[in-house]
Amino acid sequence: GVIGAFALSSNIFIIMIGLGVGAMFVRSITLYFVEHKTLSQFRYLEHGAHYAIGILAIIMLMKITTHIDEAVTGTIGIGLISIAFLHSIWENRQANTEE
């Protein structure tokens, strides 16, 4: 929402609408995950999200002095969450095999 709002307009109201839509989307996804107990099925997904947030914070601090491309930032975040998701699937399969 934020990137799209800035890319389309410098109008503050358009930016606010973009932020609102983005926040509603994230809230909807969160509620869906809670209702379907996704975090209990994928036990490392929450950890992956926390690691991604931590790395993004470090990148934001590094951007004060150096240029880091947005593609790198996005790839790191998606990569960490993907690794956590895949590791959760692997652990679930290992647990089912042992039973």
Residue 1 carries which DSSP code?
-
The pLDDT of residue 90: 94
Q: Residue 34 and residue 88: Cα distance in Å, rounded? A: 17
- Taking a C-beta distance cutoff of 8 angstroms, is the pair 19, 1 a contact? yes
Contact 51, 57 (CB under 8 A): no
Contact 90, 44 (CB under 8 A): no
What is this structure's pTM?
0.67
What would the pLDDT profile of 35-88 be if each residue is shown by its tens digit? Answer: 888 778 888 988 898 999 899 889 989 989 999 888 888 899 899 999 999 999
User: Residue 65: left (phi > 0), alpha (psi -120 to 50), or beta?
Assistant: alpha
At 9-38, the pLDDT tens digits run: 677 787 778 778 888 888 898 888 888 887
